[in-house]
Structure 1
Amino acid sequence: MLSSIKRFLIGRPLKSNELGEQKLTKAKALAILSSDALSSVAYGPEQILIVLITVGAAAFWYSIPIAVGVLVLLAALILSYRQIIFAYPHGGGAYVVSKQNLGKYPGLIAGGSLLVDYILTVAVSVSAGTDAITSAFPSLHPYNVLIAVLFVCFITTLNLRGVTESASILAYPVYLFVLALFIMIGVGLFHIVTGQVPEGLHTPIGTPVAGISLFLLLRAFASGSSALTGVEAISNAIPNFKDPAPNNAAKTLAAMGILLACLFTGIVFLAYYYGISPMPDVTVVSQIAETTFGRNVMYFFVQGTTALILILAANTGYSAFPLLAVNLAKDKFIPRMFTVRGDRLGYSNGIIILGVLSILLIMAFEGKTEHLIPLYAVGVFIPFTLSQTGMIVKWNREKPPGWLPKLIINSTGALISLIVTVMFFLTKFPQVWPVLVFLPLIIYLFHRIRKHYEAVADQLRLSTCEPSIPIDGNVIILPVAGITHVVENSLNYAKTLSAHQIIAVYVAFEREDEAVFEEKWAKWQPDVRLVTLYSPYRSIIQPLVKFIDTVQRKASESNFKVTVIIPQFIPRKGWHNILHNQSGLLIRTNLLYRRNVVVTTVPFHLKK
């Protein structure tokens, strides 16, 4: 039954040689890898105005030069990540660049930041999209968390079906959003050019504003730079592209940069020209759409596609998180299970873990994740800074042909990214201080996992590990609960082994039961030694384990191995297991970590 449900939700398994069919075209990759970056234009320009409004609406004209600064940073990031794509065509992005050029720990800071950021991407995006839906239908507001969790489950399932299939479905809402905003910006500019919008709605550029300061402008710039989150996702996901993967990834990155620049510039300009002020209950995009179209079909088209892309922006996390996890797992910093492909050739473990952690975050914050946005943004700008600094080191070290312009691009990007990161810490410390706690913890966890893998490899390596102690014989211990076919089956198996001795062990809770069982056993198996253990506290495990330890100590003196054979009957139906005691499971669990004790289960399958 479970297998049928899995097949229905995920689809039939794919052969390994079908991997090429799961690669993305540029059009599909642009949709699913750019959804996070493109969706941020819905709140990035608004973040600039929220800072500027603190000194008055007259300061809104500063949003234009601030937007130019954001575009300069965007250009530096796009050009930088384009260089990273060709320099590191196997993916990994900021983690690989930082590790190879700055060292292990800067690489782990970048990798850890991005892993957490992708979890935040899913939680914040889905919660924001859910808020947009429940704002339109207030009766659904009490179910915010449930709706958000259902959306995460839906997107997780879609990604488990495979990259191509999820891209085929999710591409439409993304392109509809881009179309809706381009129509809105185009109609808005047409109204301005034709004089349908009064000029008095905004303050002329260059108007002196009391109370403005460089610190405030830098703060507004840092807030507006939140529109650039997700730019790095394409460089992490190069292996998902059709061949030639680096060329296709670079073209997709350029297309994303152009779209993001156009949409961001258009929204900032319309917000300035219309004199839009940020409001607690109505977004800037909503106000622009209402001013441009009125409350007609186009207004609701813009709002609907905005809500959709805010939810689907989570898919960027699902595309980039598993591939980043693969790179970290190959370097033994996180569990190896992240390198395993699932039935549909995607990295299913990474997809599932991302979904589960995102759901936990949504539930912990009750779907109100707006306070996580600064943390979400600073989690991106730390890797931005590290990756571009890594590229600076690379160009200085290698000095390939044409390296100087590349060095200038990366230096510009690194400097601006550093300024934005510092401004986040200075102006939003109450929201971003957790990064100073969880990053060291994550790096420590990475270190412990790597240390474990190294210790395991050292102990398993034939050239370095201690020589195996020869085994001269085998003592078999057979716990028995009665005289049954299950015990008979296990005893027959034990007799086929080259055993020095077979000892059946019976744990009795009453003295009378002990005597009765000894009498029955003597008649049934007189050639097999029986040891009865009286347990006044009705514990099977404690006396049995104590006896096994005693036998093992004596056996080890003669280089004998102790094997515990556990009889177990297997019900015909899985749910029947809950009707029986799981004594065998408890015994196995207790013996598993004991040295020099081998545990073997002999199943006896029931027929009805």
Structure 2
Amino acid sequence: MFSSVKRFLIGRPLKSHELGEQKISKTKALAILSSDALSSVAYGPEQILIVLVTVGATAFWYSIPIAVGVLILLTALILSYQQIIFAYPHGGGAYVVSKSNLGVNSGLVAGGSLLVDYILTVAVSVSAGTDAITSAFPNLHGDNVGIAILFVLFITLLNLRGVTESASILAYPVYLFVLALFILIGVGLYKILTGQIPPALHTPIGTPVAGISLFILLRAFASGSSALTGVEAISNAIPNFKDPAPKNAAKTLMAMGLLLAVLFSGIVYLAYYYGIAPRAEVTVVSQIAEHTFGRNFMYYFIQGTTALILILAANTGYSAFPLLAVNLAKDKFIPRMFLIRGDRLGYSNGIIILGAASIILILAFNAETEHLIPLYAVGVFVPFTLSQTGMMVKWLREKPNGWVLKFVINTTGALISFIVTLIFFVTKFSRVWPILIFLPLIILLFHRIKKHYEAVGDQLRISTCEPVVPIEGNVIVVPVAGITHVVENSINYAKSLKPDQIIAVYVAFEREDEHKFEEKWKKWHPDIRLVTLHSHYRSIINPLTKFVDTVEHKASEANFRVTVVIPQFMPKHSWENILHNQSSLLIRSFLLYRRNVIVTTVPYHLKK
């Protein structure tokens, strides 16, 4: 039944040689890898206004020069990541660049930040998309968390079906969103040029504002820079592109940068000209659309596509998180299960864990976008800074042709990214301080995992292992719960191994039961030694494990091994397992950690 449901939800398994068919074109890549960056147009300008409104509506004109600063940073990042794509064509982005040029720990800081950031990408995108829906339908505002979780489950399932299939489905909403915003910006500018929007709605640029300070402007700039999250995703996901992958990835990155610049500039300008002020339950894009079209079809079309791209922007995380996890797993910093491809040739373990972690975040932050964005943005700008610095070191060390210009570009990107990171820490410390705790913990965990894998490798390697002591004999212990076919099957199996001794062990809770069983056993199997153990606390595990430890201690002195043969009956139907106490599984789980004890389960399959 489980297999049938899985096939229905995920689809038929793909063969390994079909991996090439899972590569995506530039058109689809632009949709699934740029959706995070493009969707941030819906909340990036709003974050600028949220800061400026603390001074007053007269300060809104500062959104224009702040937007120019954001575009300068965007240009530096696009040019920088284009260089990273060609320098590191196998993907990995900031993690690989930082590790190669700045050292392992810098790479782990970048990698750890991005892993967390991709989880935040899903949580922020889905939460923002839910906000867009509830802006259009205020009656749903109290159901934000439930709606957001349903969307995460949907996108997780979609990605488990494979990269190509998810890209084919998700491309349409992304391009519809771009079309909707171009129409919104075009119609809005037309109304401004034709005088249909009164200029009295906004404060003229250059108007003196009481209470404005450099601190507030820097804080607004940092908040607006959240629109640049997701720029690095393409450099992480180069292996997903069709050949020539680096060239296709670079073209996609440039297209994304151009679209992001136009859409971000247009929304910021319309919000300024319309005199839009941020409101708790209505987004800035929703207000611009309502001012431009009223509450008609176009308004709901813009809100619908905005909600869709905000939700589907989470797919950037699903595209980049598994590939980054693969690079970390190859270097043995996270579990190897992230290297395993699922039925549809995607890294399904990474997809499932990303979805689960995102749901936890949505529940923890109650799907409130504003509380998630500062932490989200810091998680992006730390890797931005490290990757640009790593490229600076690379150019200084290698000095290829034209390296000076490349060095200047990366230096500009590194400097601005570092400043933005500092601004976030200074201005929004109360919301970003968790990164100072969980990032060192993540790096410590990375090193512990790496140490474990190295220790396992050293112990398993034949050249370094201690010589194996030959086994001189075998003692078999069989836990028995009664005189049944299950026990008989296990005793017969134990005899077939021709051990030096077989010991049956019965744990009794009452003295009377103990004596009765001893009498029955003498008649049934007089040739097999029976040991009865009395349990004062009605526990099978404790007396049995103590007995096995005693036998093992004596056996080890003679280079004997102890094998515990556990009888277990298997019901005809799997659901019937819940009707039984599964004591055999408990015994096995406790004994598996005994150093010199071998555990064998002998199943007896029931027929009805």
Same-fold status (TM-score > 0.5) = yes
Q: 2:29 & 2:343 partners in 1: Cα distance?
A: 21
Tell me the distance in 2 between the aligned counterparts of 1:55 and 1:134.
28
How many angstroms apart in 2 are the aligned matches of 1:534 and 1:472? 32
Helix, strand or coil: the match of 1:400?
Answer: coil
Q: By how many angstroms is 1:245 displaced?
A: 1.0
CA distance in 2, matches of 1:365, 1:261: 30
1:457 aligned to 2:443?
no
Q: Which amino acid aligns with 1:389?
A: T
TM superposition shift of 1:561? 0.4
TM-superposition CA deviations, 1:481-511 (whole Å, max 9, x none)? 1121111111111111131111111222222
Q: Quote the Cα distance in structure 2 between the aligned partners of 1:286 and 1:182.
A: 15
The letter for the 2-side match of 1:594 is: R
* 1:540 matched to 2:528: no
C-alpha deviation, 1:167, in angstroms: 0.9
SS of the residue corresponding to residue 601 of structure 2 reads strand
Question: C-alpha displacement at 1:35, in angstroms?
Answer: 0.8
Q: Is the 8 A contact 2:365 2:372 kept in 1?
A: no
Quote the residue 1:505 is aligned against: 505
Partners in 2 of 1:526 and 1:196 — Cα distance? Answer: 104
Does 2:524 match 1:557? Answer: no
Which residue number corresponds to residue 384 of structure 1? 384
User: How far 1:531 moved relative to its partner?
Assistant: 1.6
> Where does residue 213 of structure 1 map in the other structure?
213
Question: Residue 389 of structure 1 aligns to a residue in which SS?
Answer: helix
Q: Give 1:332's aligned residue.
A: 332
Tell me the residue number matched to 2:471.
471
C-alpha deviation, 1:283, in angstroms: 2.2
State the 1:369 CA deviation.
4.1
In the aligned structure 1, how far is the partner of 2:525 from the partner of 2:16? 53
Paired residue total: 608
Question: Residue 414 of structure 2 corresponds to which residue in structure 1?
Answer: 414
- Matched to 1:84, the amino acid is I
Deviations 1:512-550 (A, max 9, x none): 322222222222222222222222332222221111111
2:148, 2:15 → 1: CA distance? 33
Q: Per-residue displacement from partner, 1:155-213 (whole Å, max 9, x unpaired)?
A: 10000000111111111111111000001111122222333333343333333434333
Instruction: Assess if the C-alpha contact under 8 Å between 2:322 and 2:351 holds in 1.
Output: yes
Greater Cα offset, 185-194 or 173-182: 185-194
* Rounded Cα–Cα distance in structure 2 between residues aligned with 1:138 and 1:46: 19
Q: Distance in 1 between matches of 2:480 and 2:58?
A: 87
Task: Return the alpha-carbon distance in structure 2 between the equivalents of residues 393 and 176 of structure 1.
Answer: 41
Structure 2 counterpart of 1:112? 112
| Distance in 2 separating the partners of 1:126 and 1:449 | 31
Q: Distance in 1 between matches of 2:17 and 2:441?
A: 40
Equivalence map 1:250-265=2 (5 Å): 250-265=250-265
Whether 1:83 aligns to 2:83 is: yes
For residues 279 and 374 of structure 1, what CA distance do their matches in structure 2 show? 18
Q: Using a 3 Å threshold, how does the CA distance of structure 1 residues 212 and 542 change in structure 2: closer, same or farther?
A: closer
The SS at the match of 1:569 is strand
Whichever residue aligns with residue 97 of structure 1, its letter is: V
Question: Which residue type is aligned with residue 64 of structure 1?
Answer: I
SS of aligned partner of 1:602: strand
Q: Which amino acid aligns with 2:604?
A: F
Match of 1:192 in 2: 192
- Secondary structure of 1:550's counterpart equals helix
Q: Is the 8 A contact 2:53 2:59 kept in 1?
A: yes
Q: Distance in 1 between matches of 2:266 and 2:136?
A: 25
In 2, the alpha carbon distance for the partners of 1:487 and 1:102 equals 62
Q: 5 Å matches for 1:554-593? A: 554-593=554-593
Corresponding residue SS for 2:172: helix
CA shift, 1:71, in A, is 0.8
CA deviations over 1:198-247 (Å, ceiling 9, x no partner)? 33433333334343333332222111111101111111111111111111
> What's the offset of the Cα at 1:287?
2.2
**What residue in structure 1 maps to residue 489 of structure 2?**
489
The aligned residue for residue 41 of structure 1 is 41
Query: Match of 1:246, as an amino acid?
Result: P
Superposed displacement of residue 431, structure 1: 0.9
For residues 59 and 604 of structure 1, do their structure 2 counterparts lie closer, same or farther at Cα, with a shift above 3 Å needed? same
Which stretch of structure 1 is more off in the superposition, 498-507 or 342-351?
498-507
Q: Alpha carbons of 1:532 and 1:448: their partners in 2 closer, same or farther (altered >3 Å)?
A: same
In structure 1, give the amino acid aligned to 2:346: G
CA distance in 2, matches of 1:371, 1:194: 39
Q: Over the residues paired in the alignment, what is the CA RMSD in angstroms? A: 1.4
Q: Which residue of 2 aligns with 1:127?
A: 127
Answering whether residue 393 of structure 2 is matched by residue 354 of structure 1, we say no
The whole-number CA distance in structure 2 between the counterparts of 1:282 and 1:154 is: 25
SS in 2 for 1:215: helix
Alpha-carbon distance between aligned partners in 1 of 2:302 and 2:245, rounded to the nearest angstrom? 33
For residues 538 and 53 of structure 1, the distance between their equivalents in structure 2, rounded to whole angstroms, comes to 68
Range that drifts further, 365-374 or 584-593: 365-374
Cα deviation, 1:26-53, whole Å, max 9, x if unaligned, reads 1111111111110111111122222233
**Counterparts of 2:143 and 2:190, CA distance in 1:** 41
2:6 corresponds to which residue? 6
- Residues 150-229 of structure 1 mapped to structure 2, 5 A cutoff: 150-229=150-229
Q: Does the 8 A contact of 1:362 with 1:369 survive in 2?
A: no
Which residue of structure 2 aligns with residue 270 of structure 1?
Answer: 270
- Say if 1:508 and 1:535, in contact at 8 Å, map to a contact too: yes
1:15 aligns to 2:15 (yes or no): yes
**1:305 shift after superposition:** 1.0
Answering whether residue 453 of structure 2 is matched by residue 437 of structure 1, we say no
Report SS of the residue matched to 1:54: coil
Give CA-to-partner distance per residue, 1:316-364, whole Å, 9 cap, x none. 1111111111111111111110110000000000000011111111122
Name 1:232's counterpart in structure 2.
232
Structure 1 residue runs of 5 or longer lacking an equivalent are: none
The AA in structure 2 aligned to 1:125 is S
CA contact (8 A) 1:127 1:311 kept: yes
TM-score (norm 1): 0.97
Which 10-residue stretch deviates more, 529-538 or 38-47?
529-538
Residues 142 and 452 (structure 1), Cα distance of their counterparts in 2 relative to 1, 3 Å cut: same
User: Residues of 1 paired with 2:205 and 2:258: CA distance?
Assistant: 25
Cα separation, 2, equivalents of 1:222 and 1:144 = 27
Q: Secondary structure at the match of 1:483?
A: coil
Q: What corresponds to 1:72 in structure 2?
A: 72
Write the deviation string for residues 363-404 of structure 1: whole angstroms up to 9, x where unpaired: 222323421111111110011001000000000001111111
Question: What is residue 371 of structure 1 aligned with on the other side?
Answer: 371
Q: Deviations over 1:266-291 (max 9, x none)?
A: 11122222233333333221222222
Give the TM-score of the pair, scaled to structure 2.
0.97
Structure 1 equivalent of residue 600 of structure 2:
600
Query: Which consecutive unaligned segments of at least 5 residues does structure 2 have?
Result: none
Distance across 2 between alignment mates of 1:288 and 1:134: 16
1:520 counterpart residue number: 520
After superposition, the Cα gap between the structure-2 partners of 1:92 and 1:311, relative to the gap in structure 1 and judged at 3 Å, is: same
Q: How many Å separate the matches in 2 of 1:363 and 1:54?
A: 28
Per-residue deviation, residues 109-151 of structure 1 (Å, max 9, x unmatched): 1111111111111112112222222333333333322221111
Amino acid across the alignment from 1:460: L
Aligned-partner Cα distance in 1 for 2:548–2:7: 45
SS of the equivalent of 1:55 reads coil
Q: Distance in 2 between matches of 1:403 and 1:600?
A: 64
Structure 1 137/66 Cα, relative in aligned 2: closer, same or farther at 3 Å? closer
